[in-house]
Amino acid sequence: MQYPAATLPFGGPIPWDRSTAEEPGAILPTFPYARATPMGERGDRAMFPEAPPTALGTSQAGAQGAPEEGTPVDAVMDRFARGDDSALAELYRLGAPRVRAFLARLCSDLALSDDLTQDAFLRIHAARGKFAAGAPALPWMFAIARNSYRDFLRRQQVRREHRNTTAMLASPQRLDRPESGGDRALIARQMLGIVQHALMSLPVRQREAFVLMRFEGLSLAEAAHVLGATEAAVKILVHRAYVVVRAALDKQNQADALAGKPGAR
Amino acid sequence: MSDFDLERLDDVPDPLSGIDTRPLPPLRAVTAPSPTRSQVASVRAIALVGALLYELAWLTIMSKRDDLHTLGAMTLFIEVAIPVGAAILALVAAAAPGERGLGEPKARLATLALLSPALFVLATLLVASVAPVGEDDTLSFWFHCFRCFAWTSLYTAGPLVFAGWAFRRSFVVAPAWRTAALAMACAASGAATMSFVCSVGNPAHVLIGHGGTMFVAALVGAALGRRFGQV
């Protein structure tokens, strides 16, 4: 199966993209759902039209405005809510990658995102009976993961370590990137680091809204539900976040252009 | 800003792109059993029945207002229906699953939650202006208010306990709003019970003495919501 190459906005393919890796399988993202796809046709099905249906389709359909029904994760969550304890392992297998990715993008710390994912799934387990029948599971899980993250921040604040933690989390080095050669790869890593740094400089609420809509593929209505805000408020949050991130990227692009680096525009 | 094109978000690359190559860590062992959906529904039904029985018990214990026999059926219905309607509105705001299972959207939640006390206030003023009931206070207005407030709080306590039991750690989104609405529903049910006991028709008395618990309960619920109501 030939996958189309994912691209970065400043030109050129992502160096470690599976379709362009020199050794196929050498640098494979284990997050098949982490996407660099256009908003308009989000999701794996849109990016890889020949790919088999993913286990997690809720958010992808959400971007189109039509609620998707009967995705495996929804069905598994429903089984779990009805009392099938064996469904927890499957739910974790299906849902944890998305929850972990969401948390990693929020906190920029992979180890912390692992801990928070565990916490979120303990909460999901405890609250399974409150999951409404027929509801999409992913927004519900994202909302619980967000609560885990918020509670973590609150605990940090109580311990008066918030400033230090924020500084630690804001460090672009927290997400270690695979080292692959070439100037283009270097620029790509640099750009992603800039995005990460810009995201961490945002207020938490803006970051949550931006991550949910840009990277998790939720529609405006779904993001508003998860954040407990109105759609207009979410749009404003996302716009403000976009302005900050875009400005950081533009600044870097200008610097690269002045330095005559390849890929800069 | 409202016409911001969301398609422009595509410009921003994913900082997590191709980074996380680690396998998922195993899920921490879960030892404590958790209630299933049917068990949660049962608990909530039991709580609702328990709260109603609690109010009925007080109605049985307390002496009814003197003018109960002389009141018209419509007047009595309105006096009881107002707080009951407010309670139902607040309960719907708090507990409705919403179309996505995350509860009502924020705008509708806020509307319903604020509509509940608004209905109580407006209807009380309307009823008092159209058909004044009760007699003028001979004792101090504030003494009466305080006494009724204390009794209404007592009538509210039972439903609050049941609600706390049934809805603990139930709200995924906007727990403060939803817990406030839930507490308001409990207080409105207490106010409904109070309508059978207190004959003072002065709207200021009804609003402060009977409806004041709704305000206080909402504040307490909002303050405790995140700690006890959030999943």
Q: Residue B10: its pLDDT value, please?
A: 81
CB contact under 8 A, A35 and B14: yes
Mean pLDDT of chain A: 72
Whether B56 is in a domain gets the answer: no
Is A159 exposed, middle or buried (CB count within 10 Å of its CB: 0-12, 13-18, 19+)?
A: exposed
> Does residue A117 carry a pLDDT above 60?
yes
CB contact under 8 A, B27 and A92: yes
Residue A21 binned pLDDT confidence (cut-offs 50, 70, 90): very low
Whole domain around residue B199: which residue ranges?
Answer: 66-229
Residue A7 phi/psi, 5° resolution?
-125, 160
Whether B14 is in a domain gets the answer: no
Nearest CA in chain A to B174: A228
> Does residue A38 carry a pLDDT above 50?
no
Whether B10 is in a domain gets the answer: no
Whether B24 is in a domain gets the answer: no
Angstrom distance (rounded) from CA B133 to CA B72: 11
Whether B133 is in a domain gets the answer: yes
Run means of pLDDT, 10 residues per run, chain B, 231 residues: 74 75 81 92 97 95 81 78 91 90 90 91 81 60 91 97 96 94 96 90 89 95 92 92
Whether B7 is in a domain gets the answer: no
Looking at the partner chain, which of B20, B21, B34 has a beta carbon nearest the beta carbon of A129? B34
Q: How many domains does chain B have?
A: 1
Express each pLDDT in A133-159 by its tens digit.
999 999 999 999 999 999 999 888 887
DSSP secondary structure letter of residue B24: P
Q: Contacts from B42-50 at CB under 8 Å and sequence distance 24+?
A: B43/B165, B43/B166, B44/B95, B44/B166, B44/B167, B46/B166, B47/B162, B47/B163, B47/B165, B47/B166, B47/B167, B48/B162, B48/B166, B50/B158, B50/B162
Angstrom distance (rounded) from CA A79 to CA A70: 12
Amino acid at B224: L
> Does residue A54 carry a pLDDT above 80?
no
In Å, how far from its chain's centre is CA B66?
29
Q: Residue A44: its pLDDT value, please?
A: 33
Domains (ranges, CATH) in chain A? 44-259 (1.10.1740.10)
CB contact under 8 A, B21 and A27: yes
**Partner A contacted by B45 (CB < 8 A):** no
Instruction: Give chain A positions within 8 Å (CB) of B19.
Output: 29, 110, 175-178
Q: Give the pTM.
A: 0.78
Sequence-ordered list of residues with C-beta below 8 angstroms from that of B134, at least 6 positions apart, any chain: B67, B199, B200, B201, B202
> Does residue A20 carry a pLDDT above 80?
no
Q: Pull the structure tokens for residue A247.
A: 């400005």
